[in-house]
Structure 1
Amino acid sequence: MDFSNIDIKDISKFYDAFKSLCKMHTESNEGNIESTEYLEHANNIVDKFTKLNENSNVTRNTLYIQVWSTLSTDYNNFKNEHNDICMGFPSIPSMKITQHHIQSSEHGSVQNSGVTSSSLSIVKKLILALSIFSAITIILGIFYKCSLFVLRKRAQKQHLKEKLKNIKKRMNH
């Protein structure tokens, strides 16, 4: 990912939104459930998203879209987990995506197939590499055991041949 195209002002807006979401999670875990505070945090998150959505630089940058997708997914998951408190919460607006990105209207979240497919691809590659490594280890172990068995049998045959030679020599003398 190219981090050189990131504007610090936009990142601070994402940070503020993440901070509000973290406060919501922290307060729910501590049992400090007051729907007015949650609503303030939710409005803050939606406000930050609305401001970010107006910036065309944000809607063109894949990194921003990935952050947007993560944050909106977490926000929507929080809303779903706390339905009793979050009934009046605003939805995160859909991102105005320019150029070749896909806009998703479901729950206002952006599903970036590049994010999920790349992480799945990495997981698949790791599983494949571990499977290959395991298979090679097992094959080498079997080969090693077979080699030891064959070498032991050869050594026993060699030893028996030498004993037979010694016995024949003794009988001839």
Structure 2
Amino acid sequence: MLSSKVCGEFESIWKLFPDDLNASGKYYISGGTIKNYCPKRNCDSNINKIHAGCLWLFNQFYGNSYNFSSNANGNMNIVVYIMIWLTHKLNKMLNTQFSNLNEFYSKHIQNTDEYKNHIDDVTEYKNYIDLINQKKKIIDIDIKDMSKFYDAFKILCNMYINVGKQGVSKTFLEYANEFVDEYQKLLNNNNTDREDSSYNQILSTLSNDYSVLGRSKIDGKPIELPSLPTEKTAEKVEISDFKGTKTVSTSETQESNSKAKVSDSDSTLPSSSQVNKLILIPIIFVATLILLGIAYKVNNNSIKNIFALIFVIWISETISETTFKRKAKNMKKMNHNI
């Protein structure tokens, strides 16, 4: 469970060991407090600096029996937050060397003496490695997915740090709204499809610590926090046309596509009718020529009148067909322009 004290320790490392790389792609540590934890006091590489920051955090929370009793008892989720911080640092590095925390654990933690040092006057856990093993499943999460929890965790800590404070740049309620937005992004991740996944377990840890803060009081009055989302939202996509760019949900896009398919099928219907008419016209024309030949031989005025009527019908069909083709062509141009 988070607290203002726990978040205060993380706030210290954010100040001493900023999140971002400098222009040359290196992390910067200010002061000697964290540098003392660099392997052999060598802080030249980013890995050594990250290694030092991780050890510093473990020492602050679990370095002795006093720290352990005030932090670890019923509060093993602090290990989860240390792992989130560690993942974020590794993911920010240029040319990230690790696909998940397990690779970093095997190479830089498992066989490192500092993580094996015995915690005095503590019987439940021997050392830092023993603490990490209690949450071993989370280190198999993809490092990019794991690092996505960092923003939500940092916002949540800022809520704990600023709750009830006056004159701060951002109130805890403003942080709360930001946390809800970040939580929704995490909820939309495909890794939440399995309820028993390690990803969901971390999401549940964040949710529980948010709820705990929501049950707190300021000056005797309960804190009213916005509710956390429980369902995924439709993914937003951008569609560009000559009128500009419009952002719509995937459900709207699917509906639009279905309408477009119906429209396309409708536009093809006249073409099939057109083919039938084109087949009929030459048949009428040939039949007319044959009958005209017969009429010429028999010299019958009634038959001639019938032939003349058929000829007039054929001419009218041809004219209407030409008009239809022009309209269809114009409609096709209009659809293309749209």
Q: TM-score, normalised by structure 1?
A: 0.48
- Using CA pairs under 8 Å that are at least 6 residues apart, name the structure with larger relative contact order, 1 or 2: 1
More helix per residue: 1
More strand per residue: 2
Q: TM-score, normalised by structure 2?
A: 0.28
> Based on CA coordinates, which of the two structures has the bigger radius of gyration?
2
